[in-house]
Amino acid sequence: MAYRKNRADTLLLKAAVLAAAVALAQGCAQTTAQRQAPSDATVAAHVAAATRAAGSDLTALLTLCNPAPATRPPQAELDKGLAAFIAKPAPPPGQAFDNLYFVGADWVSAWAIKTSDGIILIDALNTQAEAAALIEGGMRKLGLDPAQIKYVIVTHGHGDHYGGAPYLAQKYRARVVMSEADWTMTETRLEFATPIWGAPPKRDVSVKDGESITLGDTSVSLYITPGHTMGTISPVFDVKYGGRKHRVMLWGGTSFNFGKDMPRLDGYIDSTRRMSTVAQAQRIDVLLSNHSGVDGSQPKLAALRQQPSAAANPFVIGTPAVERALNVMGECAQAQRDRFALQ
């Protein structure tokens, strides 16, 4: 197993970023001239653009267009809400693709990628108890061996994604992967600290934008998409279904739960634009999330349980839909930025 800079992926990334830069340069004068000062009208325009992009199939993302609070709720309120989420009955584990499995909770997701040399886990849920019951237990129900977990990629440094990582690292010697920015955040200024989640994992594998985790026959490209946290990782990897290969992007952090932080919103907007370019360049046709309410994974898994050999996989939405989803998130972020600017 190895984590490395993938040359081909890096070249493709550079090409995508260059294309985006050229497009930005070409439209810079026009954008500057057309961009209006924030107002109720600009907020409404961004919400309308998001609504058009969402169509009838991506409406779950439109909750992002609702006003976000300028400050975080009190810790006691956060703890109460978190406990309620954790108490919800977990859905059954499920197989989304030949080599990709859901082993998550009702509110927060964990995904297991099966490779020829072990398992790459994306996120580790809230707590050790969830990791034991849902990740280990879910894997066994699906015929996977938890002892084969070699990497745990933590998409960002919030406890609903790293909570079970120390347990898995200690029990199976799995390597824990996080971005440099979020390792630093968890070590120095931990966001949303709560005893429910416990201590974050100890620093292990630190990755930068464009690096990849390779295990056996599978390589996961890691894109740093600042916004939800400044070091959020959005992994991109291949899956198989019915003899065909598909390209997956797992958007690493969705909501605007960081208060009135304009640089974070700017980073989020830039990340959606950049990853839309990557999605187009790599023909990404599957968009996942680490929260099932965002990607609709539960009804999709239920459909696959009803028809496990269906010709069409409900997770495959096509590259244009992936681009539209990123556009929805970007437009909602712009609406929120304008709201904050008016306060």
Q: Which two tokens stand for residue 281?
A: 């360049």
The total domain count for the chain is 1
Is residue 255 within 8 Å of 215, Cβ to Cβ?
no
> What is the four-CA torsion angle of 14, 16, 17, 20, rounded to 10 degrees?
160
Kindly state whether residue 81 falls inside one of the protein's structural domains. no
The confidence score (pLDDT) of residue 5 equals 53
Residue 284 lies in a domain: yes
* Domain assignment present for 79: no
Longest dimension (CA), the chain: 58
**Model pTM score:** 0.91
In a domain, 28, yes or no: no
Question: pLDDT grade, residue 302 (50/70/90)?
Answer: very high
The verdict on residue 293 lying in a domain is yes
| In-domain check, residue 121 | yes
CATH number assigned to the domain comprising residue 275: 3.60.15.10
Residue 9 inside a domain? The answer is yes
216: left (phi over 0), alpha (psi -120 to 50) or beta: left
Which domain range does residue 313 map to? 2-21+38-72+90-342
pLDDT in tens, 68-122: 999 988 888 989 999 999 999 999 999 999 999 999 999 999 999 999 999 999 9
Dihedral sign for Cα 72, 76, 77, 83, please: positive
* Domain membership flag for residue 31: no
